[in-house]
Amino acid sequence: MTDNRLARIDPETATDEQKKVIARLGEGRGRIPTPFNIWLHNPHLAEGMEIIGTHVDRSPVLSEAESEVAILSTAVFWNAPYVIANHRRHALKAGVPEAVVAAILEKRRPEAAEGRLGLVCDAVCDMLAGGMIEDARFARYAAGLGRAVIAELLITIGYFTSISLAMSLHALEPKS
């Protein structure tokens, strides 16, 4: 498979609405991230995703390692090779222990993570498993992480669910 399904938006021929989003991406990220070549076909959607994505990239309540655990876990859940390859590297660079990365890639609950990172790993696993989380587990997450972190994890998982599905639908392969 190749990226021939991806209809990239040319900034020179973009509509005014698309150019507005492209300018915001340039200010916030300095480039057009790959998923935006999908979302820019609907500029109003791309505008909202830019706001969410920029927030997720600069989370005020999650460390980079915690964010990467949520992102990599989501990509593995959705079997999105492009996102997995990119965020495996990011997770290791952010200091996520190799044993934790390996467990996530093997679709196992990471047991090597300790402290707050371990709690984030557990919460993300429970969130991705779907269904109801027992009251005692939720209380553990609320007490140990706080509700702002729970909300942030939900948004990160949702945002990267969209990215994972988009990259797979458009048959994008990991870059070597």
pLDDT, tens only, 100-130: 999 999 999 998 788 999 999 999 999 999 9
pLDDT tens for 5-20 read 888 889 999 999 999 9
Q: With 60 as the cut, is the pLDDT of residue 3 above it?
A: no
Residues of the chain with CATH 1.20.1290.10: 64-169
Q: What's the gap between Cα 99 and its chain centre? A: 20
Q: Which two tokens stand for residue 77?
A: 């859940």
Using a cut of 0.75, tell me whether the model's pTM lies above it: yes
Tell me the CATH number of domain 64-169, given options 1.20.1290.10, 3.40.50.300, 3.90.226.10, 3.30.470.10: 1.20.1290.10
Who contacts 86 (Cβ-Cβ below 8 Å, separation ≥6)? 174, 175
